[in-house]
Amino acid sequence: MEEVNKELEKANRIKSDFLHTVSHELRTPLTSIKAFTEILLEDDIDAAERTEFLEIISRESDRLSRLINNLLMVSRIESGQLYWEMGMISINKVIKSAVDAIKLVIEKKRVELKVKVVDNLPQLSGDEDKLVELLINLLDNASNFTDPGGKIELVSDEKKINNQSEIWISVSDTGTGIEPEEQEKIFDRFYQVKTDILTDKPKGSGLGLAICKEIINHHGGNIWVESKPGEGTTFTFTLPVSLRKEE
């Protein structure tokens, strides 16, 4: 009973920390959107500044939208109400959609994004929107932990493992890296990697990687992380290629 109580206390503490962080994550883009909107409404500014402020508002709106979408998805996962729209899809299209959605955010952070995609990868059975969301989460996560001047690389390929064709996709960064003891926990819901030794302050809401794992599990694939503190991180996931032809 004592062990059960300790586990419950730990779970409550993790969720409390999570709610505190999410509140901050929601407040930050809202504050920016409000501030720059008030400037645009009240001040006489030139065209260049107006464009810059509108770009910031757009970027912060996208950030807010991603966080809310993640919250909704985790809620549906926990309640067992997540709907999957499976069909034969192009993984090349998935990659392009994700990169197009997030590349401006990465570029604004002065981080270089390289994409090495094999042309005409085979179709597979999957939920296109959720796989796009998965890649956006991984790319956004990489940009959060990579300092200006760093690099992010997305690589895709087809491999055969035990006569089963699989799509392998990896997202690598030159960021801060992840401590070994944290690598075992980062796919847990609400777990947040600590990045500041002095303040123990996490980056991110602790939702994205848990969602990624849920999506990959549903598609019958695997996802894992390889990282060295101070040298960067690589997230890799696999997706089995369906042998069924689209009817």
pLDDT, one tens digit per residue, over 7-43 is: 677 666 656 666 656 666 677 778 888 888 988 887 7
CA 134, CA 99: separation in Å to the nearest integer?
11
How far is 26 from 67, CA to CA, in rounded Å?
A: 8
Give the C-alpha separation, 137 to 149, whole Å.
21
Can you list the pairs that 30-36 forms with residues at least 24 positions away whose Cβ atoms lie under 8 Å? 30/60, 30/64, 32/56, 32/57, 32/60, 33/57, 33/60, 33/61, 33/64
Q: Rounded CA gap, 186 and 192, in Å?
A: 7
pLDDT at 198 over 50: no
Residue pair 128/239 in contact by the 8 Å Cβ criterion = no
Residue 179 tokens, joined: 């401590």
Spatial contact of 65 and 33, defined as CB atoms under 8 Å apart: no
Which of 42, 68, 67, 64 has its CA nearest to residue 53?
42
38-95 pLDDT, tens digit per residue, is: 888 877 788 888 888 888 888 788 878 877 877 777 777 777 777 888 999 999 999 9
Q: CA separation (Å) from 128 to 89, 142, 222? A: 6, 21, 17
Q: What is the pLDDT of residues 108-124, one digit of tens each?
A: 889 999 999 988 889 99
Q: Does domain 2-79 have CATH number 1.10.287.130?
A: yes
**Which CA distances in Å does 148 have to 81, 199, 210?**
39, 21, 26
Q: Which CATH number fits domain 87-240: 3.20.20.70, 3.30.565.10, 3.40.228.10, 2.40.110.10?
A: 3.30.565.10
% of the chain residues with pLDDT over 70:
82
**In a 3-state reduction of DSSP, which class is residue 165?**
strand
pLDDT at 223 over 90: yes
Query: Residue 4, by phi and psi: left (phi above 0), alpha (psi -120 to 50) or beta?
Result: alpha
Cα(218)–Cα(102) distance, rounded to whole angstroms?
24
pTM: predicted TM-score of the whole model, two decimal places: 0.72
Which tokens in the block code for residue 125? Answer: 């059975």
Q: Which ranges of the chain would DSSP assign to H, the alpha helix?
A: 2-42, 47-79, 91-108, 128-144, 180-183, 208-218
Coil, strand or helix at 80: coil
Domain boundaries, the chain: 2-79, 87-240
How far is Cα 203 from Cα 192, in angstroms, rounded to an integer? 7
